[in-house]
Amino acid sequence: MKMTNRWNRIIYRLWSPVYDKTVGRFFLPGRRRALEILELKPGERLLLVGAGTGADLALLPEGVDIIGVDLSPEMLARARSKLPLPGRSVTFIQGDAQRLLVEQAAFDAVVFNLILSVIPDGRACLHENLRALKPGGRAVVFDKFAPETGYIPIGRRILNIFSTIFGTDITRKFGDMLRDSGAEVVWQEASIFRGKYQIFLLKKRNK
Ligand SMILES: C[S@@+](CC[C@H](N)C(=O)[O-])C[C@H]1O[C@@H](n2cnc3c(N)ncnc32)[C@H](O)[C@@H]1O
């Protein structure tokens, strides 16, 4: 099954009341580490792509100016319920992050936590939202991807039928998405679930 916005709207409406107490908890160590690697500083502008229930918000340092984008009104309603956050300015935009919904070249950092395996076209999402970065800006990706080399094994393809029903695709390769994006990997590490989830720190080239 292919991920679609229609299905994502349905499945994330269903996830929204239980997300923070279930999967949200499971992902906490990974997202904490991803944001640590990003090394945000006060005064920086940050774009959260697929902001969801705002599980990243409490982990962001004071003084950061945050814009979060998400397709699901119900997930965003949960995120809004976490506001106000002392010392942080937070704005949400509801929309499809397969295209850029914010100003181009205006952000210091972008977070792609658990979105590139969910959104229908992960490559478009990555490329479009990297346009938001200033030259030399940085982005972090925390997600699970298929191994870069070889075919996707049949077992993984079968499992993917079920995982897409629950709102995530496990057959995507990060290298395919990153190609020609104008950014490069400057740090990579294995994360939770015995390294099945990974963290990538990207830097946008200065042209
Ligand atoms: C697995 S959740 C991750 C949420 C959050 N980033 C986190 O780390 O907890 C995936 C999110 O992607 C959002 N999403 C799915 N399709 C989208 C799209 N086309 N544009 C923007 N957000 C989308 C869903 O609504 C959901 O909130």
- At position 2, the amino acid (one-letter code) is K
* 11-24 tens-digit pLDDT: 999 999 999 999 99
* 83-111 tens-digit pLDDT: 999 999 999 999 999 999 999 999 999 99
118 touches ligand 1 (CB under 6 Å): yes
- At position 79, the amino acid (one-letter code) is A
pLDDT of 206: 85
Q: Which pairing describes strands 133-144 and 107-113: parallel, antiparallel, or unpaired? A: parallel
Q: Which atom of ligand 1 is nearest to the CA of 19?
A: 9
Residue whose CA lies nearest to ligand 1 atom number 16: 119
- Contact status, residue 120 vs residue 3, Cβ threshold 8 Å: yes
User: pTM for the full model?
Assistant: 0.97
135 pLDDT above the threshold of 80: yes
Buried b / exposed e along 97-106 (16+ C-beta atoms within 10 A): bbebbbeeee
Q: What is the 118 CA–ligand 1 centroid distance (Å)? A: 7
Q: How many CA atoms lie within 13 A of 178 on its CB side?
A: 19
Q: What is the 27 CA–ligand 1 centroid distance (Å)? A: 14
Q: Which atom of ligand 1 is nearest to the CA of 31?
A: 8
pLDDT of 89: 96
Q: Which atom of ligand 1 is nearest to the CA of 75?
A: 27
